[in-house]
């Protein structure tokens, strides 16, 4: 056994020693290098900066989708719906997030089309500069957020900024508009969640009162009320009504 182990070690050592020779004998293999070098042409730095800018945008994409679109309102309302039905983890988080994402793409499609037509396509055809492209791209999204933002919330952040008040909606900066938009979306989502809870709460109260009057205090009321809440939600075609009202709300 010891002799076999020595033979295996010698074989492994021979293979490791032969790897550099085999590698040097191969030709035409691709090689990837990453490094820094001096350049006398300033234009050669532009592609590198564009790549860094693109990587930064991609890393911030989830935050942009969540905070600057209809996703926040949708996912909060779906969470309230699941809690009011007392179904615990049904539908699962993956299903609710997926539904909210696809509804977000559906709601934001006109905004995306405007950005593509007025900003992205002219930039790809080299008709406008990168700065002009970003300026044109922010206009549709700012118009969407301003339409959904409460005036009180927007005034709050303008006053907190302690700067010059904008004379027109176009002068509102994204740093002021985005937090005001998020607060407005959360406020609207909580209002919708309250309305979703009312009929479900009524069922819980009725079932709890009946169980208490029957002396069945050890039986959890949720166990009895959950089927009735699901039945009520299905009979009124709850998903259809909820999605219709959410989409039309934008």
Average pLDDT of span 209-228: 79
Tens digits of residue pLDDT in 53-98: 777 777 777 777 788 888 999 999 999 999 888 888 888 889 999 9
Give the whole-angstrom CA distance, residue 107 versus residue 94: 20
Tens digits of residue pLDDT in 133-153: 888 888 888 888 988 888 888
Ranges 31-35, 96-100, 175-179, 235-239: which has the least confidence: 31-35
Mean pLDDT of the chain: 78
CA 158 from centroid of its chain's CA atoms: 26
* pLDDT value of position 5: 53
Give the whole-angstrom CA distance, residue 104 versus residue 73: 10
Gap between the terminal Cα atoms of the chain: 76
Give the whole-angstrom CA distance, residue 42 versus residue 55: 21
Give the whole-angstrom CA distance, residue 31 versus residue 234: 60
**Residue that the structure tokens 């997030």 belong to:** 97
Ranges 34-43, 176-185, 202-211: which has the least confidence: 34-43
Domain ranges for the chain: 63-161+174-196+238-250
* pLDDT value of position 3: 45
């Amino acid at each position: 056994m010891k002799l076999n182990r020595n033979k295996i070690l010698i074989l492994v050592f021979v293979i490791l020693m032969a790897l550099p020779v085999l590698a040097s004998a191969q030709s035409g293999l691709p090689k990837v290098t990453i490094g820094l070098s001096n350049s006398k042409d300033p234009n050669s730095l532009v592609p590198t900066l564009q790549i860094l800018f693109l990587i930064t945008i991609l890393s911030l994409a989830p935050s942009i989708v969540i905070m600057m679109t209809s996703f926040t309102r949708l996912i909060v309302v779906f969470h309230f719906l699941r809690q009011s039905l007392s179904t615990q983890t049904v539908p699962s988080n993956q299903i609710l997030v997926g539904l909210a994402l696809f509804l977000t793409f559906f709601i934001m499609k006109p905004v995306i089309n405007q950005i593509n037509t007025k900003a992205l396509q002219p930039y790809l055809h080299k008709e406008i500069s990168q700065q002009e492209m970003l300026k044109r791209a922010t206009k549709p999204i700012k118009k969407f957020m301003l339409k959904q933002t409460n005036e009180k919330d927007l005034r709050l952040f303008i006053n907190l900024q302690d700067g010059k008040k904008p004379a027109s909606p176009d002068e509102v900066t994204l740093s002021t508009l985005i937090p005001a938009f998020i607060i407005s979306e959360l406020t609207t989502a909580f209002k919708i969640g309250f309305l979703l809870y009312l009929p479900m709460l009524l069922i819980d109260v009725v079932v709890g009162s009946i169980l208490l009057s029957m002396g069945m205090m050890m039986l959890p009321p949720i166990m009895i009320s959950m089927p009735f809440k699901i039945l009520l939600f299905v009979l009124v075609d709850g998903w259809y009504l909820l999605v219709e009202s959410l989409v039309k709300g934008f």
